[in-house]
Structure 1
Amino acid sequence: MINGGKFSLKSFSASFFTLMFSVLTLIAMGNYSETNVFNESTAKLTDTVPVVNARDTTPKVRGLDSTKKDTSKLVTKVDTFGVKVSKDTLDAPISYTASDSMVLDAPTKKIYLYNKAHVKYSDITLDAYQIALDQNTQIITATHTFDTLNQMVQKPKFAQADSKTESDSLAFDMKTMKGLTRNTYVNQGEIFLNSEKAKAVSKQIYYAYRGRFTTCDLDTPHFAFRANKMELINKKYAITGPVHPEFEGVPLPLYIPFGFFPLSQGRHSGLLPPQFVSNEQYGLGLEGLGYYKVLNEHFDVLLRTNIYSYGGWMATVTPTYRKRYRYSGQMSFSYNHMRMLSNAGAQEFTTSKLWSLMWSHTVDSKARPGTTFMASVNISSSKYNQYSYNPTVNFNNQLYSSIAYTKNWNNKYNLSLSAGHDQNNVTRLYNIRLPNGAFTVNNFYPFQPKEFVGTPKWYQKLGIGLNTTFTNQTSFYDTAFSMSKLLDTMQWGVSHNIPISLSLPPILGGAVTVAPGVSLQEKWYGERIYREWDPTNNLLRVSHNKGFYMANDVSFSLSLSTALFGTYNKFGKNSKLQAIRHVIRPTVGISYKPDLAAKDYYSTIVNVIDNQQKGTRDTIYQRYSYYTGTINGPFSEGTFGGINFGLDNNLEMKVRSKKDSTNGGIKKVKLIDGFGVNGSYNLMADSFKLSTMNFYLRSTLFEKVNLTANAVLDPYQTNDRGYRIDKYAWQGGGKFSLGQITNGSIALSTQFSSKKKEQKEKALKNNTDNSLPMTMEEQQSQIDYIRNNPAEFADFDIPWNVNVSYSLSFSRALKYDYSGYETRVTSSITLGGDFNLTPKWKVGANTYYDFKGGSIQQLTMFISREMHCWQMAINVTPVGITRYFNITINPKSSILRDLRVNKRNSFYGGT
């Protein structure tokens, strides 16, 4: 009998239904969507498996058969992965170090750092002796320690952006950026704040209790302001309640209801406080009162006013504009309603209305390549500089302006348009030039092929150019200005020049350079001027004939130039002087110019002088051109066919240097940068064949003294009235002479200073673009600011500094009545310097002495005291048109710069 296993219907049914349930459940799981943690999926998967209904997987009831669904279409399904993030996760990593140890308390999730602990999180840096981080609350605490002398060391130092704090203890939340500190020192810009308690409510706002505000960076500041409550808004301002000052820790019985201290960086609008002055001519006054307004990022306006008790006032409006990488400019208009005590007894006050206009404009060269535009305008009333407080412009009697536009086309053609003016404040004559222009065609070579094949021919180097200029000018006196006179004095002129050049190969083995040239010129005039003697009234009458006139000129030249070198080095091995090198560059040329301008010249009587000693009357004739005095001027008369010559020299030596070991310890020293002479000899002239000799000299002596000099030597003799006669100076008996020096000048300048220990000079703070030109008033205001704020600019590490410049010039000029010649000499010296009385006291002076007048024209002295966070300056000008005494004591900080003690007394000493 075979025994098989029993078949149990109950077990079979349970197993079958279990298997079916598992299969159905496994298939059904794919039709249920997962729960997403993030709003957006972190990964997307494309599933192309046919599905019946992604939203409902249960069988349909109420007679609906799910098997009749259309599954022929592929339905795309997107699955997502969910990533859970811890609630205590930060938005940036934390880096930390410690020199002693780091302790991790896992149950409480706290980290402790000991000894020179350092934590870096985002833009936050924290240094302390002990730093603890609670991961659950995300609060960082930091404390200090004590050394063997029981001194507090390794205080918590917290830095975020431009804000820096140092506290006894610190705690803050890294997520909310709220914190609390005790006995905290805060440094923000120029501000130093100490408070018993400080609370940060956000990244930008701080509150302080029982605080001390100062700009002195010492632990015990020289001065401070104390207040019970303070609020600081980062990079904007600081606000306090009632505040009182203290000096050296001693409080003053002076309370201010509130304090407002701006902390914003860059430009911001606001009032400009004045300074009190006392002037004997103008009375008591307030100077510098004004307002600065920022209109937008490209434009701002500054208004300054001076008000005096005698009724005088002055207002200056200065708009400034700028666009980065494009252009920048500034305009300044000043109106001076002057009312001062009169020096004469006829009237009590002298009144005048003066004005000044300045404009400067520059364009970035990269803004529009090939095009430039610039402006430098300086025009004013003729008496404006005379009554100015600016000592540098009191003696400036010449003012100039220019506005220019240039356009370049591929370096082939150039166009320039300009306008300008010049004025003489002594003669009160104004010259306005508008418009002026020039068109230039750079040399082009008509016979030159586009591509060279072989050696170029000589005629292929023939170059032709064009220079055309046109000018329009009008002149007037400010005392007799009218539109009719303005039109009567208007002049215009056009000048054309066509240079023709030819580059020839060098000769004599390349030692001599040959350069031929031809120049064709033509000038157009708008008037002719004729001078005629009036015997009845004994004067020279001048008549102007308007019209269109032309004049021509042509010249031919051929020049030869070379260079000769000579060296002498026979000084011995032990000599400090190693060699002397001399370079001579001679130039010789021949030229020819026909007398095309002869028709334009005439002789006329300019004066008749009675000689009472001889009992005769001397009639003086002068040669003029119809175009003498016009805007373009005349061509020179006479035929020239002769020799032009010139000689240039350069002299330098080599010495052995003990300090400089470069180049084998040999150093080059220039003795004479340039010394030479040039002139000409006219073979075709009837008289005065030899021209005047022009000498020049340029040198830097001992690498310290700059020397420039020039002189004009006339080789002919003169009569008793100083007129030249056709006889060389060395002809005839008597003493041998090469001639008479008729014009010359010499200028010397040098600067001596002690050795500088280190660089401490600071750049002047200026919100404007550095490339923007400054007006004279701005330059003087900066000079005054530097003198009144010496600690910011003066380098007290330079014990002494001396500047010396001397100039001498003379000229042989025709007298105004044409009776002869006279020599006019001007000579002056400028001295300036400063030295340290002590490491913190500096004394200096500047003076200008006129040798012709035999008097000091200007003398300014100053004393500066550097007092760490304060500064003092005393300026005295006892000699000059404007004499004044000024003493100023104020903090160095720009925030408290207007908190000053100022005493100024000035006196106008001009006429």
Structure 2
Amino acid sequence: MFINMISFAQDIPVKAKTINRSIADSLVISSDSLQTPILSEKKQDSTLIDSIKPKKELLENIVKYHADDYTKFSQKQQKLYLYNMARIDYGDMNITAGSITIDYTKNTVYAKGIIDSIEGYTQKPVFTQGSNIVEPDSIIFNTDTKKALIFNSKTEQGEGTVIANITKKENDSVYFLKNAKYTTAENLEDPEYYIKLRKAKIVPGKKIVTGLANLFIYDVPTPLGLPFGFFPQSEKQTSGVIIPTFGEQNERGFFLQNGGYYFAINDYIDLAVLGDYFTNGSWGTRLESTYAKRYRFRGNVGFRYENLITSERGFEDYSRGTIYNLRWSHSQDSKANPSSRFSASVNLGSSNYYRNSVNQVNSGAFLNNTLASSVSYSKTFEGEPQVNFSVTATHSQNTNTETINMTLPTFQGSVGRMYPFAGKNGSKKGIIQNVNLQYNLRGENRIQTTDSLFFKKEMFDYARAGFQHSIPINTNFKVFKYFSMSASTNYNEVWAFNTINKSFDASNRQTVTETVNGFDTFRTYNFSTSIGTTIYGMFNFEKEGKDPKIQKIRHVMRPSISYNINPAFNKYYESAEVINANGLTQSELDVILENRNLEFTRFEQGIFGVPGKNFSSSMGISVSNNFEAKVKDKDSTATEPKKVMLLNNLNFSTSYNFAGDSLQWSPVRMTGGTQLFKDKMSINFGATLDPYALDSNNNRIDKFNIDNGGSLFRLTSANFTASWSLSSKKGDKKDDNNDPGIDENVRSGGRDDDLFGVSQDFANQQINPAKDKENEEPSELYNYKIPWNLRVAYALNYSNSRRQNEISSHSLMFSGDIELSPKWSVGASSGYDLKNSGFTYTQLRFERDLLSWRMNFSWIPFSARTSWNFFIGIKSSILKDLKYEQRRQPDIRL
């Protein structure tokens, strides 16, 4: 084998002479201080400054898609087909539907449902973008322009839903609709009412603006409509007008009531300004504000003022008056500050406000007899001993007598209990180690005035101030193993800044009292001790071979004997000076002075009482009893008998005064109470038994009644009260705390139930809480269990202190509600005065749940406040001004 090969070679070049780097180039000039920067080739790239912009990507976001049956892509048509439980995620947009088609050439997404042979049209599209959710029959969406056409859609907007045949989505913030329906009904397939919007524009989360719109009820058009409308859709509270109600009153003409403006100030506080106007000139205003800060505090403030005019000027029955009321409630969260607390509960104003007010919101509180207020701040300083102080302003007002008592302010301070003789290890055993003491301080500035002087400078003219210091010293110990004994003494010191001086004007035969300004004080002390024990008894009814229903009765008795000594502090008493006795003989003066007690103490008008004048040495006796039974349980699987309370308490008490010269025994006071029928019925009773007899003038004499031919005791007074709450199993679920009418009663100082009626201000009540539809059992024809509840209160008082032998008061109060059907409820509040044979204040209530609507009717059939109130309106707060209200107010004369 011969191989032809051709080879080539390269000559190695000869090395040249190297350049000496140390020799400077003669052509190099000294370098410039400002060197020219070297330009980067990347910056000089001509493509970066090309005037032709690159083409935009076909899709801006990643498309995520899924389908249960199949996913098919057509290369020729540039379309993606998804079928059955299809889903697409594109940016903040999400579409789920039965069938979805994506056209990449037109940048459109077409979604629709699928037709099932059994269920029909199913898997309708659900379009979600941001917080907006649309449920149409089908939708065409452009991913480039973000515009869409939506067919037969249902869109939630605030509390309502918009149902539209065709909806054009302009962008993320604007929708245009044609022939749409706006409703708050739950059944969107067949809404009981809707507002038809011929043309509308929706800005999600902000507003709905519409052209011609009118109300339809079950697809029947009504003449109630507007040429244009505006529906706010803010998720936060917004300010707006409150539409008033209208009506007529015989004495004051036509009126507009409870209209005004709501100010949504911020997230923590709001304000509602409401007003009333009558055509005869009467008017009223209400300011209501609620505030809250999480984990800190919450409260509400309300001020009401009414200028009431009866009849017309120039007529004989013309009258005019003003009434007002101020309410404030403030509570502090327990987490805010564990060592200090501020609270307020204020209800003050005109004594006749609730009786004369013409506003329906006050109808449930006109029977209030007392207005009370309290504003307090307390602080605790932890340590050993603990120190506490509080500052309180109180107010109490009797609406019948128009008397007002106030403390501005009351200061209370205390130093915690100290054990000076306790062991070093902290043990407290025996009479000495258990000795303890504490210090209490109370200061008051007390004012008593009337309605006419309230908030005027004259109310301070009779203000009285003072301080009281007290140091109680106590100890307790065991004696004879089973007896507990305690002993205590108390030192009391009172500071006064005003005292009095009395003198007797003999010529005018009257006592003259003068006020003396200046600091003064008195000191008192007393001693007391008590001994008591607990005795247990068991009555066993179980016998061999027998199994009785009542097996055992347990009796717990706690007898106690106490002894008290109160010294006489005669040094603080003196006799009044006799003046102007000229012209009177000594015998005439003696007769005058004999018929008058001129001994007094200068501390008589003090706010902390007076020092005791007479020595007192008394013994107190009391016995408390408790009865409990063990009965056989109806449950055969129970291993222990069931405990049943027979009597919660049965107490007897009296006292004997060793230092008295007559009538040494005090009347025996008996009290008791129990709960029956699984605590549904509460019973309380009491009686006073006097051991002494009466003379012919019905005055007590120092002679026992049994020695006077009578019984051992005279029954001088007795009382019996009972309250019973009955309800069916479903009616038992009613919670009065969620009833806005009951809440209004409590804020006005009334009862926490509806025995005296509730507020009739239906238009401003909160929306009734929705019922639990899931747990609601379907009704059966002719076998429906009607929910109901009934509250009964019975009171009886007997008086016989001076042989009057009379029933001083005898009444029966009752209230209840009955749900005739799932949508109809009837309620009533009334009572009967058994002594005077007449019905008390009566209120009948009817309510009909009309699904999205609410209808109320309240009727007071008789009394001076005869009236009725009819209301029908939409439950939703966004449309609560769509209502009709008609009322007949009581003709209240000032």
Alignment of 1:110-189 (within 5 A): 112-117=81-86, 126-132=95-101, 140-148=109-117, 151-159=120-128, 163-172=132-141, 178-189=147-158
Counterpart for residue 307 of structure 2: 337
- Structure 1 residue 176: Cα displacement: 7.2
Alignment of 1:414-433 (within 5 A): 414-433=388-407
Gaps of 5+ in 2: 15-24, 31-55, 578-593, 777-784
Given that residues 790 and 873 in structure 1 are in contact (C-alpha distance below 8 angstroms), is that contact kept between their aligned partners in structure 2? no
Counterpart for residue 561 of structure 1: 532
Q: Say whether residues 1:486 and 2:462 are aligned partners.
A: no
Given that residues 576 and 656 in structure 1 are in contact (C-alpha distance below 8 angstroms), is that contact kept between their aligned partners in structure 2? yes
Counterpart for residue 270 of structure 2: 300
- Structure 1 residue 707: Cα displacement: 1.8
Q: Say whether residues 1:693 and 2:663 are aligned partners.
A: no
Number of matched pairs = 816
Q: Say whether residues 1:361 and 2:330 are aligned partners.
A: yes
Partner of residue 326 from structure 1, selected from 296, 304, 318: 296
- Structure 1 residue 174: Cα displacement: 6.8
Counterpart for residue 870 of structure 1: 853
- Structure 1 residue 95: Cα displacement: 7.8
Would the alpha carbon gap of residues 448 and 127 (structure 1) be closer, same or farther in structure 2, given more than 3 Å must change?
same
Would the alpha carbon gap of residues 97 and 708 (structure 1) be closer, same or farther in structure 2, given more than 3 Å must change?
farther
Partner of residue 891 from structure 1, selected from 853, 868, 874: 874
Counterpart for residue 197 of structure 2: 227
Matched residue of 1:895: which SS? helix
Would the alpha carbon gap of residues 455 and 448 (structure 1) be closer, same or farther in structure 2, given more than 3 Å must change?
closer
AA partner of residue 348 (structure 2): I
Given that residues 791 and 865 in structure 1 are in contact (C-alpha distance below 8 angstroms), is that contact kept between their aligned partners in structure 2? no
Counterpart for residue 102 of structure 1: 70
Partner of residue 249 from structure 1, selected from 205, 211, 219: 219
Distance in 1 (CA, whole Å) between partners of 2:831 and 2:732 is 31
Q: Say whether residues 1:750 and 2:759 are aligned partners.
A: no
Distance in 1 (CA, whole Å) between partners of 2:695 and 2:595 is 15
Distance in 1 (CA, whole Å) between partners of 2:834 and 2:502 is 38
Would the alpha carbon gap of residues 314 and 178 (structure 1) be closer, same or farther in structure 2, given more than 3 Å must change?
same
- Structure 1 residue 185: Cα displacement: 1.6
Given that residues 407 and 446 in structure 2 are in contact (C-alpha distance below 8 angstroms), is that contact kept between their aligned partners in structure 1? yes
Counterpart for residue 52 of structure 2: none
Distance in 1 (CA, whole Å) between partners of 2:814 and 2:731 is 24
Per-residue Cα deviation, 1:761-793 (whole angstroms, up to 9, x for no partner): 899699xxx999945699999943569979835
Counterpart for residue 585 of structure 1: 558
Distance in 2 (CA, whole Å) between partners of 1:902 and 1:281 is 20
Given that residues 648 and 675 in structure 2 are in contact (C-alpha distance below 8 angstroms), is that contact kept between their aligned partners in structure 1? yes
Matched residue of 1:843: which SS? strand
Matched residue of 1:304: which SS? strand
AA partner of residue 486 (structure 2): A
- Structure 1 residue 477: Cα displacement: 2.9
- Structure 1 residue 312: Cα displacement: 0.4
Given that residues 533 and 560 in structure 2 are in contact (C-alpha distance below 8 angstroms), is that contact kept between their aligned partners in structure 1? yes
Would the alpha carbon gap of residues 294 and 395 (structure 1) be closer, same or farther in structure 2, given more than 3 Å must change?
same
Counterpart for residue 648 of structure 1: 624
Distance in 2 (CA, whole Å) between partners of 1:765 and 1:133 is 54
Counterpart for residue 82 of structure 1: none
The share of aligned pairs that are identical, in percent, is 27
Matched residue of 2:842: which SS? strand
Distance in 2 (CA, whole Å) between partners of 1:547 and 1:852 is 53
Matched residue of 1:8: which SS? coil
Would the alpha carbon gap of residues 188 and 740 (structure 1) be closer, same or farther in structure 2, given more than 3 Å must change?
same
Distance in 2 (CA, whole Å) between partners of 1:647 and 1:485 is 50
Q: Name the stretch that deviates more: 582-591 or 528-537.
A: 528-537
- Structure 1 residue 537: Cα displacement: 8.2
TM value normalised by structure 2: 0.80
- Structure 1 residue 899: Cα displacement: 0.8
Given that residues 394 and 881 in structure 1 are in contact (C-alpha distance below 8 angstroms), is that contact kept between their aligned partners in structure 2? no
Distance in 2 (CA, whole Å) between partners of 1:720 and 1:118 is 101
Counterpart for residue 830 of structure 1: 813
Distance in 2 (CA, whole Å) between partners of 1:301 and 1:723 is 61
- Structure 1 residue 386: Cα displacement: 2.1
AA partner of residue 470 (structure 2): N
Partner of residue 273 from structure 1, selected from 243, 256, 272: 243
Given that residues 535 and 557 in structure 2 are in contact (C-alpha distance below 8 angstroms), is that contact kept between their aligned partners in structure 1? yes
Distance in 1 (CA, whole Å) between partners of 2:689 and 2:702 is 15
Counterpart for residue 687 of structure 2: 711
Given that residues 753 and 798 in structure 1 are in contact (C-alpha distance below 8 angstroms), is that contact kept between their aligned partners in structure 2? no
AA partner of residue 714 (structure 1): D
Counterpart for residue 472 of structure 1: 445
Given that residues 418 and 436 in structure 1 are in contact (C-alpha distance below 8 angstroms), is that contact kept between their aligned partners in structure 2? yes
AA partner of residue 405 (structure 1): Y
Partner of residue 839 from structure 2, selected from 856, 871, 880: 856
AA partner of residue 640 (structure 1): S
- Structure 1 residue 854: Cα displacement: 4.0
TM value normalised by structure 1: 0.79
Partner of residue 518 from structure 1, selected from 467, 470, 489: 489
Partner of residue 551 from structure 1, selected from 507, 522, 534: 522
- Structure 1 residue 475: Cα displacement: 2.1
Per-residue Cα deviation, 1:352-402 (whole angstroms, up to 9, x for no partner): 122222222232333233111222222212332221142233222321222
Alignment of 1:523-672 (within 5 A): 523-528=494-499, 544-571=515-542, 574-596=547-569, 600=573, 627=603, 630-658=606-634, 664=639, 666-672=641-647
Q: Name the stretch that deviates more: 465-474 or 533-542.
A: 533-542
- Structure 1 residue 823: Cα displacement: 7.5
Would the alpha carbon gap of residues 442 and 139 (structure 1) be closer, same or farther in structure 2, given more than 3 Å must change?
farther
Would the alpha carbon gap of residues 316 and 788 (structure 1) be closer, same or farther in structure 2, given more than 3 Å must change?
closer
- Structure 1 residue 114: Cα displacement: 3.7
AA partner of residue 376 (structure 2): A
Q: Name the stretch that deviates more: 324-333 or 375-384.
A: 324-333
Distance in 2 (CA, whole Å) between partners of 1:140 and 1:384 is 67
- Structure 1 residue 245: Cα displacement: 2.4
Distance in 2 (CA, whole Å) between partners of 1:623 and 1:749 is 49
Counterpart for residue 395 of structure 1: 367
Given that residues 788 and 888 in structure 1 are in contact (C-alpha distance below 8 angstroms), is that contact kept between their aligned partners in structure 2? no
AA partner of residue 690 (structure 2): D
AA partner of residue 884 (structure 1): S
Would the alpha carbon gap of residues 599 and 231 (structure 1) be closer, same or farther in structure 2, given more than 3 Å must change?
same
Distance in 1 (CA, whole Å) between partners of 2:713 and 2:374 is 43
AA partner of residue 617 (structure 2): G
Would the alpha carbon gap of residues 705 and 834 (structure 1) be closer, same or farther in structure 2, given more than 3 Å must change?
same
Per-residue Cα deviation, 1:642-700 (whole angstroms, up to 9, x for no partner): 43222122222233444696x64743222222221222223343333222322221211
Counterpart for residue 440 of structure 1: 414
Distance in 2 (CA, whole Å) between partners of 1:166 and 1:660 is 57
Distance in 1 (CA, whole Å) between partners of 2:262 and 2:101 is 49
Matched residue of 1:299: which SS? coil
Given that residues 141 and 149 in structure 2 are in contact (C-alpha distance below 8 angstroms), is that contact kept between their aligned partners in structure 1? yes
CA RMSD of aligned residues (A): 4.5
Counterpart for residue 707 of structure 2: 731
Distance in 2 (CA, whole Å) between partners of 1:263 and 1:845 is 38
Partner of residue 351 from structure 1, selected from 310, 313, 320: 320
Q: Say whether residues 1:806 and 2:794 are aligned partners.
A: yes
Distance in 2 (CA, whole Å) between partners of 1:754 and 1:224 is 37
AA partner of residue 560 (structure 1): I
Given that residues 422 and 428 in structure 2 are in contact (C-alpha distance below 8 angstroms), is that contact kept between their aligned partners in structure 1? no
Given that residues 324 and 349 in structure 2 are in contact (C-alpha distance below 8 angstroms), is that contact kept between their aligned partners in structure 1? yes
Gaps of 5+ in 1: 17-59, 66-85, 605-617, 815-819
Would the alpha carbon gap of residues 279 and 486 (structure 1) be closer, same or farther in structure 2, given more than 3 Å must change?
same
